[in-house]
Structure formats: C-alpha cells, structure tokens
Amino acid sequence: MEIEITYIDTACVIININGFRIITDPALDNKTGFLPKLVGKPFIFSKKTMNPLLGELNTNIDLALISHDHHGDNLDNSGKKLLENVPTILSTKGAERRLQRLKVIGLNPWETYNVHTPLVKGLKITAVPAQHTNIKRLLYAVGHVIGFVIEWDNQENGALYISGDTVLFEGIYEISKKFKINTAILHLGAGAFPYLKPKLRVTMNAEEAIQTAEILSCEQVIPIHYEGWWHFKEPVQKMQNEINESSIKDKTIWLKRGVKQTIKL
C-alpha cells in the first residue's frame, strides 16, 4: 500500500493511510523568543527559529500520536488547540493525567490500541519504549516518552515505526525483535543542554540514526526533528552529510516541509 507523509514542523508529520489521517507531535506555534522547553522546569529552555507550514491542516485529523506532552517542541498551545477537534489521541499515561480535558488515551510501552475505521482494515498502534536522555539518572527529570509502531492488515513489507524523542538504547533492540520494521521515522537533532551536563543529549545524532536503522533492518528511513530549535546541536549539513555517506544513504527519504511524499509499505 502507498501512504502519504507530509512534514509540517519539528516532529510533526501527517500520515495519510488510504484517507485516514494521523498527526504526530503537533508543535504548531510560530517562532518565539526563549521559553521554557520542559513544563514546570524554567531552567531548561529553548528558542524556536522556524515557523510551521500548516497547509495540510486544513482538513480533518482522525488520530493524534503524542510521544510526550511536556516539552514545547512536541506539543504547544497551538497543538493543544488542534487536538480539541481530534477524536482519538494516544500518548503516555502521564499525558492522560495532565491533558484530561482532551481525553487522551495513555498507553504503556508494548500496549496496543486497535483503531476501528473502514478506511484501514486492522489498523493498530503499539506504544514502544523511548529513552529521552543518554544519562539514565536524568530520566525522571526529562520525563517519560514513548514511540509508536503502526500496523494494519496486509502490510506486506513491515510496519511503520515512529521513534519519539529518544537516544539509541536497549529498547531499540527489543523493538527489532518484536516487529518487522519497514519504515522508521526518526527524531534527530542531537538535542542538548550543555549548560546542565556537557555530555547530556536528549535525541539521536546522525551516528545513532544510522545504527538504529541497521539494528531495525528497515528498508526506509525518514529523518525529522532536526532543525528549527536552539537546542538542536548537530548542524543540519553535518547530519545530512554523515547519513549520505553511510550504509543507509539509499534508504533515506528527506522530506520537504509542507510537501506530500508518497512512500510504499
């Protein structure tokens, strides 16, 4: 089956599966000055430097996947406003508590939610582990995050994986054992706050993205979440060069913001 993916902003894409539209991590505010990135933690701050391209948001969204709700580059005020009109929202158990007004359905890692729609037979979403820091003792501070695996009937070549904000960790190996992944949407950018911990990183860099794709043995890799924020510390050109000189060069699909990209699963 062919599906369409449109890159909106940061970690926000719209995935169109036979007319069923899924949005991920809607951070849709325009660029601003410095602001707290982590809700309730003013010492962790960032600055948005690009505006989203919102053209694809003119039509209805059927399902939202929120890897985590407590970071402003994954869900912001405009994103919450959009979610008011989305019938089904899947995220973490913490998001379910914090966003009760939006009736979020919280999932634990490895928990599956079955989506009933005549457009996509057997559609199901499984929450998978993510680790939002390379320093494990800081996990509580950065908060809980999940990724997602999207499956449906007659998915010949494997599932669609969305990493969420994560580094390479043992959970990636677990995902590779439990699922056949065809396409991996990876959150990159090497997010970091060196004024807190010099070696702290909260998302993958290019090297980890390459390793993750190799571990998953996926056929297609789609990098997102690598530009538009101050805390993304890996230069875009460096990241692209490293991937384009690697084993996954011919597997990588570079999305253009606001442009539909057709891929086959």
pTM here is 0.94
Three-state DSSP at 122 gives: coil
Between 32-36, 85-89, 99-103, the lowest mean confidence (pLDDT) is in: 32-36
Percent of the chain scored above 90 by pLDDT?
75
Please, are residues 162 and 204 in contact by the beta-carbon 8 Å criterion? no
Sequence-distant (6+) residues with CB within 8 A of 93 are 106, 107, 108, 144
Give CA–CA dist 162/165, Å, rounded: 9
Domain segments of the chain as ranges: 2-255
Q: Return the structure tokens found at 116.
A: 């009933």
CATH class of 2-255: alpha beta
pLDDT in tens, 117-143: 999 999 999 999 999 988 887 777 778
pLDDT in tens, 165-216: 999 999 999 999 999 999 999 999 998 875 556 678 899 999 999 999 999 9
Percent of the chain scored above 70 by pLDDT?
92
- The answer on pLDDT for 36 being more than 90 is no
Give CA–CA dist 70/67, Å, rounded: 10
Distance of CA 8 to the CA centre of its chain: 12
Amino acid 1: pLDDT: 87
